[in-house]
């Protein structure tokens, strides 16, 4: 992003022109461009609610509504307001980066699909009422995609003819719709939801195993980057079918399923997953480490096996599923004719797996796992802004000037800052910022200003420290 002007820009509302004549924004502008890393609260759209809306049952749903992140449009379908949208995009981007790192290739498929492919796989009738069926003007059967195995398999088979075209892993991040009988829990179980789905294609079982394992490791990395410990558990394969399957669950009191797992998961290293994805043995070893310990949801729970663990290692709690991976072999490639020519010239039916992450669900899941009485506590990598700059006395020339200077300097360094430049009272400002949960609060008021200091508060720990104004920018732009 191009930012012109001085880092210590004085407050003013005029737009400046870049050399190309396009208007660009700068920290001093009251209305920065939409992709700006910084924002003035006075120019933002943040409809905060003081009371819990009655339709919300669980904490994440209440907090998302109160923090002005989402707005319900119909049962299980939500508009994403600016603050929520930023979080959604942060999560989406982390997922994207880790998919790419693991060698998956991004595509984009339509939300509306033709029924034809689904008739071929036999799922048009099998899927039931959860599938939203639509007719177009020619009375053709269409549907709003609940998932994309058929379509991606069809895409792949048209683009791959030889064993040389394998292995491949294609993924997309797209809105899906499942017409749940009873949507609830806000974005945790909506009807319309944003999902990352990857689909792997391999020549043989060994290759398929490697593809599966790569996704397994990429999931460990993905969730770890969001500040989550998502424990992989043996899973039911459900309507998608297949043999090997793991669910990734994060622990939260409001989780939808009961989980049982080995305490050892707590002691494992959840941060160091730098690994060569092409090294099948190393990847397999890491997967082995994470799957050899007991972890299961209630429907796969085997009490007898669990009891073998020493009592102090047997842990149980509630979990929220945030990812699910399957290896299902030829379940779709067979009926859809995904066949390539092998080395010996003979046709080979490819083997595939599918790997999902609930991107929109993660927004709620992270809040379930990270909040307190005052509101949300965002892990820094997914926070809508890194810090809140709070002007305790807007209108006072001293605090205004000090805040503008820091706001401008942080903006110039690309630090994501939400600047509360409104003339609300201090207590209201603190409450709002605690509610929306930005990781850091930089508080500037006349009291500290006398000594040239700002108060820096860590949202998670509540820890406060006095930091000289001159050091603020360096501290957050490192």
Partner RNA sequence: CGGAGUGUAGCGCAGUCUGGUAGCGCACCUGCUUCGGGAGCAGGGGGUCGGAGGUUCGAAUCCUCUCACUCCGACCA
What are the residues binding RNA (CB under 7 A)?
A: 47-55, 57, 72, 74-76, 178, 180-185, 188-191, 193, 195, 238-240, 247, 256-257, 321, 324, 356, 358, 360-361, 374, 392-393, 425-428, 430-432, 434-435, 443-449, 455, 457
Q: Are strands 351-358 and 192-202 parallel, antiparallel or unpaired?
A: antiparallel
Q: Which is closer to RNA, CB of 5 or CB of 68? A: 68
Three-state DSSP class for residue 270: coil
Q: Which is closer to RNA, CB of 23 or CB of 447? A: 447
Q: Which is closer to RNA, CB of 226 or CB of 350? A: 226
Whether 340 and 221 have beta carbons less than 8 Å apart is answered as: no
Query: Rounded to the nearest 5 degrees, what angle is found at the Cα of 153, between the Cα atoms of 151 and 158?
Result: 100
Peptide bond between residue 167 and the one before it cis (omega within 30 degrees of 0): yes
Q: Which is closer to RNA, CB of 227 or CB of 437? A: 437
Rounded least distance, CB 84 to RNA, Å: 15
Rounded least distance, CB 150 to RNA, Å: 16
DSSP 86: H
Rounded least distance, CB 21 to RNA, Å: 36
Backbone angles phi, psi at 59, to 5 degrees: -60, -40
Rounded least distance, CB 78 to RNA, Å: 10
Rounded least distance, CB 189 to RNA, Å: 5
Q: Which is closer to RNA, CB of 256 or CB of 380? A: 256
Q: Which is closer to RNA, CB of 38 or CB of 326? A: 326
Q: Which is closer to RNA, CB of 193 or CB of 265? A: 193
Work out the widest C-alpha separation in the chain, in whole angstroms: 82
How far apart CA 67 and CA 185 sit, in angstroms, is 16
Q: Which residues of 175-190 are buried (b: 16+ CB within 10 A; e: fewer)?
A: ebbbbeeebbbbbbbb
Q: Which is closer to RNA, CB of 210 or CB of 393? A: 393
Category of 242 on φ-ψ map: left (φ > 0), alpha (ψ -120 to 50) or beta: left
Q: Which is closer to RNA, CB of 15 or CB of 129? A: 129
How far apart CA 295 and CA 258 sit, in angstroms, is 11
Q: Which is closer to RNA, CB of 377 or CB of 435? A: 435
Rounded least distance, CB 215 to RNA, Å: 15
Q: Which is closer to RNA, CB of 348 or CB of 442? A: 442
Spell out the alpha helix ranges (H) of 371-478.
Answer: 397-412, 426-436, 446-449, 469-477
Going by C-beta distance under 8 Å and a sequence separation of 6 or more, which residues neighbour residue 411? 3, 7, 26, 27, 36, 37, 38, 417
* Residues, the chain: 478
Q: Cα–chain-centroid distance for residue 22?
A: 33
Q: Which is closer to RNA, CB of 123 or CB of 393? A: 393
Tokens 């209201």 correspond to 428
First CA to last CA distance, the chain: 18
DSSP H or E segment with residue 102? none
Going by C-beta distance under 8 Å and a sequence separation of 6 or more, which residues neighbour residue 216? 232, 246, 283, 287, 290, 325
Whether 399 and 20 have beta carbons less than 8 Å apart is answered as: no
Rounded least distance, CB 362 to RNA, Å: 9
Whether 32 and 5 have beta carbons less than 8 Å apart is answered as: no
Whether 377 and 459 have beta carbons less than 8 Å apart is answered as: yes
Rounded least distance, CB 356 to RNA, Å: 6
Spell out the alpha helix ranges (H) of 122-183.
Answer: 123-126, 149-159
Q: For helices 82-101 and 205-225, what crossing angle results, to 10°?
A: 140
Rounded least distance, CB 202 to RNA, Å: 23
Rounded least distance, CB 24 to RNA, Å: 30
Rounded least distance, CB 268 to RNA, Å: 23
Rounded least distance, CB 186 to RNA, Å: 8
């Amino acid at each position: 992003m191009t930012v012109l002007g001085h880092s210590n820009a004085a407050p003013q509302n005029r737009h400046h022109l870049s050399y190309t004549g396009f208007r660009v924004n700068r920290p001093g502008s009251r209305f920065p461009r939409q992709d700006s890393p910084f924002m003035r609260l006075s120019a933002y759209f943040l409809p905060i609610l003081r009371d819990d809306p009655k339709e919300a049952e669980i904490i994440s749903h209440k907090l998302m509504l109160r923090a002005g992140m989402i707005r319900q449009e119909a049962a299980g379908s939500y508009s994403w307001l600016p603050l929520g949208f930023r979080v959604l995009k942060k999560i989406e981007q982390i997922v994207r980066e880790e998919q790419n790192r693991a060698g998956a290739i991004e595509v984009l498929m339509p939300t509306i699909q033709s029924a034809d492919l689904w008739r071929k796989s036999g799922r048009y009738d099998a899927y039931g009422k959860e599938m939203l069926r639509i007719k177009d003007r020619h009375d053709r059967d269409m549907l709003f995609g609940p998932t994309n195995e058929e379509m991606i398999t069809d895409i792949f088979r048209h683009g791959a003819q030889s064993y040389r075209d394998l292995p491949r892993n294609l993924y997309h991040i797209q809105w899906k719709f499942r017409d749940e009988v009873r949507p609830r829990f806000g974005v945790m179980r909506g009807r319309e939801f944003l999902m990352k789905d990857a689909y792997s294609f391999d020549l043989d079982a060994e290759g398929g195993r490697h593809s599966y394992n790569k996704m397994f490791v990429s999931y460990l990395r993905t969730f770890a980057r969001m500040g989550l410990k998502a424990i992989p558990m043996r899973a039911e394969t459900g309507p998608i079918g297949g043999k090997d399957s793991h669910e990734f669950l994060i622990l939260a009191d409001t989780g939808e399923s009961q989980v049982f797992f080995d305490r050892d998961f707590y002691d494992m290293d959840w941060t160091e997953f730098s690994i060569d994805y092409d090294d099948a043995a190393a990847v397999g070893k890491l997967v082995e480490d994470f799957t050899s310990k007991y972890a299961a949801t209630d429907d796969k729970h085997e009490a007898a096996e669990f009891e073998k663990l020493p009592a102090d290692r047997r842990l149980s709690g509630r979990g929220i599923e945030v990812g699910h991976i399957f290896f299902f072999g030829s379940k779709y490639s067979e009926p859809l004719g995904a066949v390539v020519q092998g080395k010996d010239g003979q046709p080979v039916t490819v083997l595939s797996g599918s790997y999902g992450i609930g991107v929109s669900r993660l927004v709620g899941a992270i809040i379930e796992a990270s909040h307190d009485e005052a509101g949300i506590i965002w892990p820094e990598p997914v926070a809508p802004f890194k810090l809140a700059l709070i002007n305790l006395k807007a209108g006072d020339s001293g605090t205004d000037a000090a805040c503008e200077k820091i706001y401008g300097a942080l903006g110039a360094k690309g630090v994501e800052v939400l600047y509360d430049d409104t003339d609300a009272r201090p207590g209201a400002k603190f409450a709002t910022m605690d509610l929306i949960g930005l990781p850091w609060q930089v508080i500037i008021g006349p009291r500290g200003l006398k000594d040239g200091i700002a108060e820096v508060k860590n949202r998670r720990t509540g820890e406060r420290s006095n930091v000289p104004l001159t050091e603020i920018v360096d501290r957050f732009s490192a």
